[in-house]
Structure formats: structure tokens, C-alpha cells
Amino acid sequence: MTIEPDTKDWTWVLERRCPECGFDAAAHGVEDLPKLLRDTTWLFGRALRGPDAAERPDPGTWSPLEYACHVRDVHTIFAERLRAMLAEDTPTFANWDQDETAVAEKYSEQDPQAVDVELVEAAGDVAGLYASVRTDQLGRRGVRSNGSEFTVETLGRYHLHDVVHHLHDIGWDPKGATVRAYDEFAAAYREGTSGMTEDVRHLLDRFAERAGHGARVLEIGSGGGRDALELEARGLVVHRTDISSGFVALLREAGQEAEVLDPLVDELGGPWDAVWASACLLHVEREDLPVVLRRLAEATRHGGVLHVGVKEGDGEAWSTHGSVTVPRRFVFWREEPLVETLRGAGWQVETVTRGTGTKGDSWLEILAERA
């Protein structure tokens, strides 16, 4: 069956969040593109290595293989357009019919392993071009054959949305991918995080002292269970939860009660005396964190205490560091917007401290009181 051509004009994604894939192109600048474009190749690669890479979910929808071929060619086309914009004054781009190309190049018959390699190479090429763009070149213009005009900056954002949207098309959602990564590597993660730095001990001591002996603590993101044991050793009563069923299974095997819980949508119980959420809310999408923090506040008694630890930085990224060797998505925060988000959700921030992780990354550690 022939795929119905996509004739929609998608330039509106430059102005507002895409309701289908949830991506907000306006939140990213050209400086973000090199890393983000390279990061997506991991995700297409996993799909290409899957047993159903060449299978269409239905006759009228491309397979993951066909989408990956398209994205590879998108990188090549946008590299050509970017080179033209940097070298010429307002070039007009040659028309490219993606549906004709898919048929002519026999996307459905291409070798997934070869496409994986080619996609990585094409993404690396165009990422390198974006990395070379100077600030004074961001406003250089180019015109598509239908008359749509782009600057270097808007071309890059449009390009990034196209790629991210096709990850959505093949069923790859950031949250689900991150949860599956922890499910798969739960035991390795537990082993890799069993040690504890003096900085973490200090945070546990501070939290336990502030919460008070016997406090009922809701732990979000219990992981391998290290922190819960330490909190209990300090006289607190901990209710272990994690969104990863892999972690919950490990905790139960160790004789500890635990439940699978997504703080964005699941019942939180309570009222709790305190909430411990260390190194877990950094996986929550930026627009969802206010909801999560507000729900945690509503489940905590007035005067209760919250600990939150997130990585400091800008934007989002996929990473395969540490004991989890498949991609996880991280959302980075700066102090001021994080503090404002906490306040808006019903928390009064008491202390903000910075720490350094085992990989040299910077962390924001927040202690807050339920207002």
C-alpha cells in the first residue's frame, strides 16, 4: 500500500509546542542542536536493531526502518540547505519530495544495520555544521520552494522538530524509554550506586534532622534502595516507591515493601511528614514538574519537608553514562527557575546547596517546607 503523502505545512511548530509529539522547538537555539541531533541517533539505532524494524504498524504508516531512512535523508537535505544559507544571500532551496524519495530509494528494502551507520554519519555531519555557525550568521536567510522563509536559527529548530517528531512516530517516548532503561539495568544500577559520598551523607543527615525522628517519609525514586535504608537508620519510616517495576522487584526480593508509582498521575497517599526525591525528578519533563511538585505538596502535611536533587544546567539531554548503557533522558535546571517552580507548587525553599557528582557534574540539592 502506498503511503498517503504528507502535504501539511509544519512551519507553525516554530511558534508553539507540537500537540502530537509535545516538542517545543522555540525552547531551543542553534547552540543546542549539535548534541540534541546526535543524541537522537541512539534512539533510532535501538529501533533499527529491533526484530520488527522493517514491519509497518499498519499498511498506511512507515516502519521504523522507513522513518530512519527518511531522517537520515532529512539530515543530508538540511546540511545542504544550511551550507547554502551560510555561503549565499537568501538562496532558494530545491524542492524535495520526501514521499517520492521513499519510493524511489526503496526505503522499505534497505538494510537496517547500514541505515543505522548512515544515519549516525549524516547527523554528525549536520551537527558539525550547526556547531560552526557564528552568532552573526543566525539571521541569514533561505527560502523553500513553496515560499516559506527561514533564518539559520529557525531552520535549525524546524529540523530538530522534524527529527524528534519521527521518534514519536515510531512510538519512542522519552519517559517510557527512560523507565525501560532502568527496568533493564536495575541490578547494575543498584550495584553501581551502592557507595555513598560524604556529601550525600550530609544531605541525609540534614533531611532526617529536619523531618524529625519517626517521620513518615514518601520516597520517590527509591532505585536500588540505598537511601531508604540510610533514612531508616536515622529513625525515619520510609515508604519506598519507584516508577520502574525493575527497581520495585529488586526491593521486594530484598524483603522490603515497595510499590510502582508515577508521581505525575498515581495516588500518592498521605498526608506524609516528608518527601525524599533524590536524583529522580530530573527525568520529569520540564512542563510536568510543577504538576508533580504540587501533587507532592498536596500529599504532605503543612510544615512537612521535601528534599529534591537535580542536575544543574540548561536544556535536556540523553545520556548513557554509568551503569545504564542505554539512553536515559535528563532535564537540567538552574537555581532561580527551580526555586520559582517549587514556590508556585506550594513549597517554601529553605536551603539550596550545590554538589559535585561522581562524573564531575553539578547538582542542585533543595530542602523545602510545605507552605
Over residues 190-222, the pLDDT tens digits come to: 999 999 999 999 999 999 999 999 999 999 999
Residue 5 falls inside a structural domain: no
What pLDDT is attached to residue 2?
Answer: 57
Looking at the structure, do residues 186 and 165 belong to the same domain, yes or no?
Answer: no
Residues 134 and 220 in one domain: no
pLDDT over 70 at 245, yes or no: yes
Last residue of a domain, one of 154, 171, 188: 171
Pairing of strands 316-319, 328-331: antiparallel
Give the per-residue pLDDT at 63: 97
Q: Residue 335: is its pLDDT beyond 90?
A: yes
Tell me what percent of the residues of the chain surpass a pLDDT of 90: 81
135 and 41, same structural domain? yes
When pLDDT is cut at 50, 70 and 90, the band that residue 54 belongs to is very high
Domain count across the chain: 2
Same domain, 160 and 71: yes
Q: Last residue of a domain, which of 144, 171, 198?
A: 171
Question: What percent of the chain is predicted at pLDDT more than 70?
Answer: 98
pLDDT value of position 7 = 56
Domain boundary among 151, 171, 191: 171
Interval 168-191: pLDDT, tens: 899 877 888 899 999 999 999 999
Q: Are residue 167 and residue 88 in the same domain, yes or no?
A: yes
Q: Both 184 and 122 in a single domain? A: no
What CATH number does the domain containing 239 carry?
3.40.50.150
Is residue 2, in this structure, part of any structural domain at all? no
**Domain extent at residue 263:** 180-370
Report how far apart, in Å, the C-alpha atoms of 233 and of each of 17, 201, 205, 230, 239 are.
46, 12, 10, 5, 14
Residues 116 and 205 reside in one and the same domain:
no
Pair 63, 56: CB distance under 8 Å: yes
Indicate whether 117 and 262 sit together in one domain: no
Q: Residues 63-74: what's their mean pLDDT?
A: 98
Q: How far apart are CA 25 and CA 164, in angstroms?
A: 10
Lowest mean pLDDT among 80-84, 233-237, 292-296, 327-331: 327-331
Same domain, 146 and 233: no
Lowest mean pLDDT among 61-65, 171-175, 328-332: 171-175
Q: How far is CA 110 from the centre of its chain?
A: 29
> What pTM was estimated for this model as a whole?
0.74
In a domain, 6, yes or no: no
Candidates 206, 192, 196, 274; CA nearest to 229 is 196
- Note whether residue 335 is domain-resident: yes
